Structure 1
Amino acid sequence: MSDEIRSIRIESNNICYGPEPGADDEVEQYLTISSTGRVWFSARNYQQYCNSKDYCRKKQTSIDKWKAEFLLRLIDNISENMSFVTDVGSYDLEIRYSNDTKRRISGSLIGGVYSHAYGEKNNVDVTRLIRRYIPVYGLWAFDGSTSPDYEGKKAVFLFAEAWEKFFKNPDSSKDFEDGFGRECESLGFQMDCGEKFVFECKKRGCKAPYGEGLKEAVADIEDIEVIGSGAFSYWRGLTHWDYMYHLGQKECDIFICLLQRLKELSRKEYSKYKEKR
């Protein structure tokens, strides 16, 4: 739609046919994300759900506006032709626009909700990205399974580990020109021509984009999404704007620097979530 997205709200209900939930079992979650980055989360257990009052969990937090706008754009691209599966929970998604119109999409709470930011191929797992962005443990969104919260971070770690090996010894075993960007896209990294990444590096004393002071700046950035965007944007600049590019030692070292930081950050997040289990 042409109008800007103001906010989205996801109501995830995990009640299905089968044994009745216990009174304290969490059965419904509500998640609202605004375009400004504000986030509201709440959940009800079965007793609260039946009484339609009170909550077992509530949290207000925020994410960068840069992330919120990207996430809302992805959600707006979700297909409305979702198939329903019986005997499982369900979700209701409401998208609100700046002209006060609304759009609603409903589906089964089994995951498999994909969208796209670039091109038309739906290759971004929206639930996984929401869980990576929003610091709420046990968040369902479009998937009520017991899939661990840290899976999104684990996927980033495995991506960084595999490509770090390639840049340390470049060969034809991996398709750099298409494959690297395709994997960045499917992980949900933003390709903003390096705008956010370069801004954060300059704040930390890096004098030129991907230049002097890069390692020190990257080591100080604690955000997986900023580093991922930096890698995605650098790849884009090389393969789409520098028509005579050469994947030499300098270029490989820049990728290695970014990927090693991605490994550090995703390993840290992975370990943190495992400790909660």
Structure 2
Amino acid sequence: MPGILKSVRIKSNNICYGPEPDVDDEVEQYLTIAATGRVWFSARNYNQYLNDDGFCRKKQIGIGKWKAEFLLSLFSNLPQVQEFITDVGFYEIEFRYDDGECEKNVGPLIGNVFSHAYGNEADVDLTRLLRRYIPVYGLWVFDTSTSPDYEGKKAVYLFAESWEKFFENPDSNIKFEEEFGRDCQELGFQMDCGEKFVSECKKLGCETSYGDGMKEAVAKINDIEIIGSGIFSYWRGLTHWDYMYHLGPEECGVFLCLLRRLKELSQKK
């Protein structure tokens, strides 16, 4: 068994059967994510690819350990074998472990790469999640067939918009206990018992978890993932730890505050 996963390197190659690319066409991207929270991106055009020299784009980003470790846990849960298709581009994932071991996984560049964080059902779209986490224009990861630059946030916006309507007028016919948590899980929100969200709120003057001062603190948080984790964790605490819970005005107010902030952060600009 390998040791602890310390980093992944994803190579996305978009060369396939068909017309030869122009020399300036971007044909290969490289993305490395380390457990420290550092991310490195680079890309080559066709001329650079043929000569194995130089890059047309390079960028370094810090996403923090909280996000990086969650991403690596999702990569650890990926199936080891992906379907291979010969007439499209391909991706190659290199898994690097702390004991020096290295493993690889290869698949077609057509999306449909799913993993799981909770339970055993692979329901988190890794392409969409990585595009949300990593602010790089035109990031392929595992898919070149969709518009990448807003696609990662669009699903968050639609989630927030849909559930905002529910909490404005709660409907007992909607399976809140099942469907809300499932939606959070599929979006790739972290459920860390509110630890990250509460910590950020306290830094901004909110001393009580989901209590007084939360609205003002939330308005200052500019990170979709922290708000998403806060709302997922609040749902979990309400539905799994408080057997006498009900969706009263106070509870709905917390959800609405967080959902409306998610809408603001994920709307198309």
Do Structure 1 and Structure 2 share a fold, with TM-score over 0.5?
Answer: yes
Distance 2:2 2:248 in 1: 43
The DSSP-based 3-state class of the residue aligned with 2:154 is: helix
Residue type at the aligned position of 1:125: D
1:100 is displaced (CA, Å) by: 1.2
Confirm or deny that 1:77 pairs with 2:77: yes
1:103 is displaced (CA, Å) by: 1.6
1:96–1:158 distance in 2 versus 1, CA, 3 Å: same
Residue type at the aligned position of 1:158: L
The DSSP-based 3-state class of the residue aligned with 1:238 is: helix
1:238 match: 238
Residue type at the aligned position of 1:246: H
1:274 match: none
Query: 1:121-171: CA deviations, max 9, x gaps?
Result: 000000110110001110111112242321121110010011011001001
Distance 1:120 1:168 in 2: 33
Count the aligned residue pairs.
269
1:132 match: 132
Residue type at the aligned position of 2:122: N
Distance 1:15 1:222 in 2: 37
Residue type at the aligned position of 2:219: A
Query: 1:68-103: CA deviations, max 9, x gaps?
Result: 000111011111121011210001101111111112
Distance 1:110 1:174 in 2: 34
Confirm or deny that 1:218 pairs with 2:233: no
1:265–1:205 distance in 2 versus 1, CA, 3 Å: same
Residue type at the aligned position of 1:113: V
2:262 match: 262
Confirm or deny that 1:116 pairs with 2:116: yes
State how 1:54-69 maps to structure 2 within 5 Å: 54-69=54-69
1:2 is displaced (CA, Å) by: 6.8
2:37 match: 37
Q: Is the 8 A contact 2:140 2:148 kept in 1?
A: no
Confirm or deny that 1:95 pairs with 2:82: no
**Structure 1 spans left out of the alignment, 5+ residues:** 272-277
The DSSP-based 3-state class of the residue aligned with 2:149 is: coil
Distance 2:119 2:111 in 1: 22
**Structure 2 length normalisation: TM-score?**
0.98
Confirm or deny that 1:175 pairs with 2:184: no
Confirm or deny that 1:25 pairs with 2:38: no
The DSSP-based 3-state class of the residue aligned with 2:92 is: strand
1:47 is displaced (CA, Å) by: 0.5
Residue type at the aligned position of 1:235: W
1:234 is displaced (CA, Å) by: 0.1
Query: 1:231-251: CA deviations, max 9, x gaps?
Result: 000000001111111111100
State how 1:146-185 maps to structure 2 within 5 Å: 146-185=146-185
Residue type at the aligned position of 2:242: D
Distance 1:53 1:241 in 2: 56
Extract structure 1 runs of 4+ deviating beyond 3 A: none
The DSSP-based 3-state class of the residue aligned with 2:128 is: helix
Distance 2:60 2:219 in 1: 29
Q: Is the 8 A contact 2:8 2:72 kept in 1?
A: yes
Query: 1:214-270: CA deviations, max 9, x gaps?
Result: 000000000000000000000000011111111111000000000000000001xx2
1:172 is displaced (CA, Å) by: 2.7
**Structure 2 spans left out of the alignment, 5+ residues:** none
1:247 match: 247
1:3 is displaced (CA, Å) by: 2.8
Aligned residues: CA RMSD: 1.0
